[in-house]
Structure 1
Amino acid sequence: MSREGLIGVSAEAFLDPENARITRAHFKQALRGKAVSYHNLVQTSAGVEKDLSVVLVPLRVDGKVVSILGIAKNITEKKRIEQELHRSRQTLQLVLDNIPQLVFWKDSTGVYQGGNRRLLEFIEVGNIQQLAGKSDRDMPWSEHTQTLLRDSELLIQTREPLLKHRELAIQADGRQLWLEVSMLPLTALEGEIENILCVFDDITERKETEVELFKRANYDSLTGLANRAYFYHTLENVLIEQLRNPRIMALMYFDIDKFKGINDTYGHDVGDKVIQEFARRISDVLRSSDLLARLGGDEFILLLCGVPNSDSVKIVAEKIIAVMKEPFVVGELRLNVSTSIGVALFQHGLNADQWIKVSDQALYTAKRAGRNGYRFASV
């Protein structure tokens, strides 16, 4: 409209009924001498809607309001951008809320700024407002706070993402959980790192599967002891270490005396119970550093590393024989079980197979001597 065309036209000509009501209410306030500000929607003569930020200022003469100065700013484009940004944020939040990882972002000082629904559920927080202002010290992974801070500092220095670079073990829900950590820099328009995006993936199931597969590959399913493959692998490593750091070491090769008779008389179920109890009793008299393995059937082998002298090896052998004196109770059966042990101290130049063979030969010497005893190998 032209300036001349506008003069004398009521402002309400450009307003729908609701916005006209809002305008009248604010205009009355201005007439009473109060400056007011508000938003309003107007329509141009072409019917295009515009969003205005309006300020009304009362003008006084001799203390009396004689007219109103109105200042309006067209904020239509700003509002459109804000709405698009809001919709974009809503869409992004919807996407984040529907992925299984724990996702959150924090500023460079480590203060949390936001996160997805999976994170809120994991840390048992009701809404995003309760998350704001927290830090890693408030999280189930609080014991790793210093480590995560160092990771953040490294990311800020290098400006490079840290993808799946760390695994954290935490306690939550009464069990041990594993989280795999990724961190990415979020930069502002000026190029400065404004926030750090963190993605924690719950890999507990994968870890538990790895542990289970390792146990199946390396441990005996009946007794829970190391199996033949794991024992041989460990022994090879011990012999390599022995070259750098010589120690007194001993192997004990033993089995259950007349075990075939137990199996033939009472069956394999009873035989398995006897093997389990046999392994348990031996384990109870050993150090945590000793390695006991079941080679198969009723054959066992024990590696003693770093013993003070051969007399201490004899003490271990005597303890093993002594713990077998009490009858083995299997159901209503009371079985007398004994063991024969072949002992071989390590001698320089022996490889793993040779050392085991020497201890096995000592076992048969013990059996020929009447069983329920031990014999040292002579090398």
Structure 2
Amino acid sequence: MKAENILIVEDEPVVALDLQQTLEEMGHQVCAISISMEGAIEAVASHQPSLLLMDIHLQGHGDGIEACHEIYRHWQLPVIFLSAYADEKTVRRAAVAKPFGYLTKPYNKKDLNAVIQVARSRHDAELALAKSEQKLAIAIEAAELATWEWESPLDHLIGDERFKLIWGSSLQPFIASLSAMLARVHPDDRHHVESTLQTQGFFKCDFRAIHDSGEYAYLEMFGHLRINRPDQKLVIGALRDVTPRKKMEERLQQASIVFRTITEGIMVLNTDGLISSVNPAFCKLTGYAEEAALGHYAAEFMVNRRDMEISYADIACTASGFWAGEVGCRRQDGTILHTLLHICTVKDQHGEVLQFVQTFSDISAIREAERQLLHLAYHDPLTGLGNRYLLDQNLESELARALSHQRIVAIMFIDLDGFKAINDSLGHHIGDRVIQEAAGRIVRQIRRHDEAVRLGGDEFVVMIPDVLSSGEGLLVANKILRSLSAPMQIDEQKLVIGASIGVAFFPQDGQTLSDLLSAADSAMYEAKRQGKGRVCAYSSDLVENVRTRLNLEQGMHGALQRNEFVLFYQPVIDLYESRLMGFEALIRWNHPEFGLLPPDKFISIAEDTGLIESIGSWVLDQAAAQIKKWAQQGRQDLFMAVNVSARQFRGNYFLNELKTVLQRHEILPEQIEIEITESMLQDFHSIRKMVLGMRELGVSVAIDDFGTGYSSLALLKYLPVTRIKIDRSFVISLPGTARDVGLFSAIMQMANSLELNVTAEGVETYDQSQILRTMGYPAVQGYFWGRPVAAEDYDEVWIKNSSVSGYFLDENK
């Protein structure tokens, strides 16, 4: 019997001393004797006994039963009551305190010895049980398991807090029926779960169940079914949500078919590291027969370990007894297989190493996937060219090499002209084909060791190292420009784009990657500003142009709300009667810093930033309001021409918007004329649908800047437009040569045959007006007949006058 360190709590000193002597004779130690509840509590705190023998009747405040409550609550020590009282009331009170024994005085030594042994055994069992329950609780918590039980015929399903979290609100408050739980199971899995719950003994199954969110989660259920009799069943089980694991498995399966179907090779090693057995997968992966591997060291097959070398003895000494790392496995044919190696130590109950289990997985597919991902990380998936990351990497090294060898590096920033209109009107699938064709053309114009990358969208950067002079770099840039300007055949459509190219040189234009790209970008924007379709070399004064563009771009956001945009109106004149026919609405930006800006300064920025749609809607609404106001002054015969961007034609929104504007301002459809550009005709089928929709509304449609685009004249036969506007670049050549006059006559004849109205733009002289009148042109507009001005500059008399010839004096010419 184990010796105990006992505290005696007895208010009779003689009895206490006698008890002490008896205990010491039995081999126990008495650490102290107390006569009151307070003394007993202090003695427990000071001496830390292993067991207490306590009288119920004590001196002072409180008795032994109360002391037992306090001591067990704080220290969980076993208490044995030694009392002269055995009445029912006392025994009932004592039982509530849950003592580990109860002896009535007088008692003999044999009874005392027995009750102490029983108390010790019970206390040890309770401690072990409490520790086991604690471990179980920790294990359940660590495994994120929910516990539950179900009993028939009551059909009570009871679960803990985690059970409620897994199943959701439908099973609150924790008590429900088995059918309520099964109703949450996926229909395809319900029969499997129901069958499992009918299997006596231990069971395990996986299934899907619906969450409160409406999504299905993967659950794993363990349990035990006990059948006492046919109508009485008891299930105790555990449940956990394994959705993350399932989703990870699904992602791994999606990564590659090879990885999903891979099997692991297994080697069982003795304590010396010699192979005692292998599985068939080992033979399949390595090519070695089982007999050829047995008795050999595993290290003979494993090479190129990336991690720190570690022996089997070192692994066995670790707390986990486990090691994992990437190792090359040598096949029988001498090739190396990339594997993920796991080594696990197998020990007996005494902690002695019995063997090692070594498994390895073929991860060649993963390494290949990593190689491909690395390629994708540095290359554009659409064109196969490098991306910004590859440019950063390669340009840094090229700059360092150029600096040491005193060489020049040319950086070209290429932006495609007209791509946005093609992408918006013809669709992204055509836009992607154009980008791919442009990338191929760029690559064909550079050397093998030059680098072309796609930054994104329609922007490219070309790096030309080892350039002997800036002239050589500009020569390459012009070759690229000519190649990109040639027509492209995309499916059934022949498309023409151009490019604006900015060129910067190392070291004179910048010492760092960011400085060079910024310089080339600035030069590219200057090329666009000069009219696009050209190469521009960087110079220091371009920085101010770029800064101005940035200021305009930033200031455009919110410009509508700040009422900074205004409309000017240029008159359209009947050339035969010198009569006012209508106006063209032309936007201006009253910029707080740069003053009144014409559209060529900011419209391209509006298109790049996507603000052109909201600005275009504002222009249409304001122009309609103004033509309504002039109609109220007596000129219902006037029309208002409004330019529309290709982006406004995206989808069917514009037709609805146009219809709404006509209704809101109560104007006739023929009072509005929508102007589109020839470049928009490349997507003929879509633009024809839009034009037909506008004509059905009664709105006129004009082709602006006619003669400058790339559309076929034959398209006019099938496009129900009402007017063509001859671009000013043709008018400015008049009176010109007989060839110039012949061109205008041909256009007019073609328009007459197609029953189209014609307006000549950019008329600036009396001679131009006269020759156009002679050739039969009915309508003109230009500085000779009136500059674009604000609406308030046209007084009511001017508007109402049937003849305007007297109003155009020298200051308007």
Query: Residue 220 in 1 paired to residue 383 in 2?
Result: no
Classify the secondary structure of the residue corresponding to 1:245. helix
AA in 1 matched with 2:452: L
2:522 to 361, 369, 372: 361
AA in 2 matched with 1:129: E
Shift of 1:120: 1.4
Question: Could you say which residue in structure 2 is the equivalent of 1:207?
Answer: 367
Query: Residue 352 in 1 paired to residue 507 in 2?
Result: no
Question: Could you say which residue in structure 2 is the equivalent of 1:251?
Answer: 411
Query: Residue 291 in 1 paired to residue 454 in 2?
Result: no
- Greater alpha carbon shift after TM alignment, 208-217 vs 294-303: 208-217
Alpha-carbon distance between aligned partners in 2 of 1:314 and 1:226, rounded to the nearest angstrom:
22
Classify the secondary structure of the residue corresponding to 1:275. helix
Classify the secondary structure of the residue corresponding to 2:413. strand
Structure-to-structure mapping, 1:262-277, within 5 angstroms:
262-277=422-437
Alpha-carbon distance between aligned partners in 2 of 1:183 and 1:281, rounded to the nearest angstrom:
54
Structure-to-structure mapping, 1:105-184, within 5 angstroms:
115-123=278-286, 127-129=289-291, 178-180=338-340
Contact 1:105 1:112 in 2 (8 A): yes
Contact 2:399 2:409 in 1 (8 A): no
Shift of 1:257: 1.8
> Which stretches in structure 2 are left out of the alignment for 5+ residues?
1-261, 316-322, 345-355, 541-813
AA in 2 matched with 1:120: C
Contact 2:396 2:513 in 1 (8 A): no
Contact 1:366 1:374 in 2 (8 A): yes
Alpha-carbon distance between aligned partners in 1 of 2:433 and 2:538, rounded to the nearest angstrom:
31
Shift of 1:346: 1.2
Alpha-carbon distance between aligned partners in 2 of 1:312 and 1:103, rounded to the nearest angstrom:
63
Q: Structure 1 pair 344/181, CA: closer, same or farther in 2 (3 Å)?
A: farther
Rg (Cα) greater in structure: 2
Contact 1:235 1:352 in 2 (8 A): no
Contact 2:504 2:537 in 1 (8 A): yes
Give the length in aligned residue pairs.
Answer: 262
AA in 1 matched with 2:279: N
Classify the secondary structure of the residue corresponding to 1:220. coil
Contact 1:232 1:352 in 2 (8 A): no
Shift of 1:313: 2.4
State the structure with bigger RCO (CA 8 A, min sep 6), 1 or 2. Answer: 1
Contact 1:339 1:372 in 2 (8 A): yes
Query: Residue 234 in 1 paired to residue 234 in 2?
Result: no
Contact 2:408 2:507 in 1 (8 A): no
AA in 2 matched with 1:259: F
Question: Could you say which residue in structure 2 is the equivalent of 1:19?
Answer: none
Contact 1:339 1:373 in 2 (8 A): yes
Using the size of structure 2 for normalisation, the TM-score is 0.26
Contact 1:239 1:352 in 2 (8 A): no
Question: Could you say which residue in structure 2 is the equivalent of 1:301?
Answer: 461
Alpha-carbon distance between aligned partners in 2 of 1:170 and 1:311, rounded to the nearest angstrom:
56
Shift of 1:286: 3.6
Alpha-carbon distance between aligned partners in 2 of 1:167 and 1:329, rounded to the nearest angstrom:
52
Question: Could you say which residue in structure 1 is the equivalent of 2:754?
Answer: none
Question: Could you say which residue in structure 1 is the equivalent of 2:245?
Answer: none
Classify the secondary structure of the residue corresponding to 1:253. strand
AA in 2 matched with 1:374: V
Percent of pairs with identical residues: 30
Shift of 1:288: 4.8
Q: Structure 1 pair 374/102, CA: closer, same or farther in 2 (3 Å)?
A: farther
* Aligned-CA RMSD value: 5.3
Using the size of structure 1 for normalisation, the TM-score is 0.50
Alpha-carbon distance between aligned partners in 1 of 2:490 and 2:461, rounded to the nearest angstrom:
24
Question: Could you say which residue in structure 2 is the equivalent of 1:374?
Answer: 535
Question: Could you say which residue in structure 1 is the equivalent of 2:491?
Answer: 331
Alpha-carbon distance between aligned partners in 1 of 2:413 and 2:537, rounded to the nearest angstrom:
11
CA deviation vs aligned residue, 1:63-112 (integer Å, no higher than 9, x gap): xxxxxxxxxxxxxxxxxxxxxxxxxxxxxxxxxxxx94335699xxxx99
Contact 2:264 2:359 in 1 (8 A): yes
CA deviation vs aligned residue, 1:221-277 (integer Å, no higher than 9, x gap): 33233334x156426744873597354212110011221232243222211210122
> Which stretches in structure 1 are left out of the alignment for 5+ residues?
1-98, 140-144, 185-195
Structure-to-structure mapping, 1:91-110, within 5 angstroms:
100-103=263-266
- Greater alpha carbon shift after TM alignment, 362-371 vs 254-263: 362-371
Contact 2:485 2:499 in 1 (8 A): no
Classify the secondary structure of the residue corresponding to 1:281. helix
Q: Structure 1 pair 299/240, CA: closer, same or farther in 2 (3 Å)?
A: closer
Alpha-carbon distance between aligned partners in 1 of 2:314 and 2:404, rounded to the nearest angstrom:
42
- Greater alpha carbon shift after TM alignment, 237-246 vs 263-272: 237-246
Alpha-carbon distance between aligned partners in 2 of 1:266 and 1:170, rounded to the nearest angstrom:
56
Shift of 1:118: 1.4
Alpha-carbon distance between aligned partners in 1 of 2:268 and 2:399, rounded to the nearest angstrom:
48
Shift of 1:340: 2.5
Structure-to-structure mapping, 1:33-72, within 5 angstroms:
none
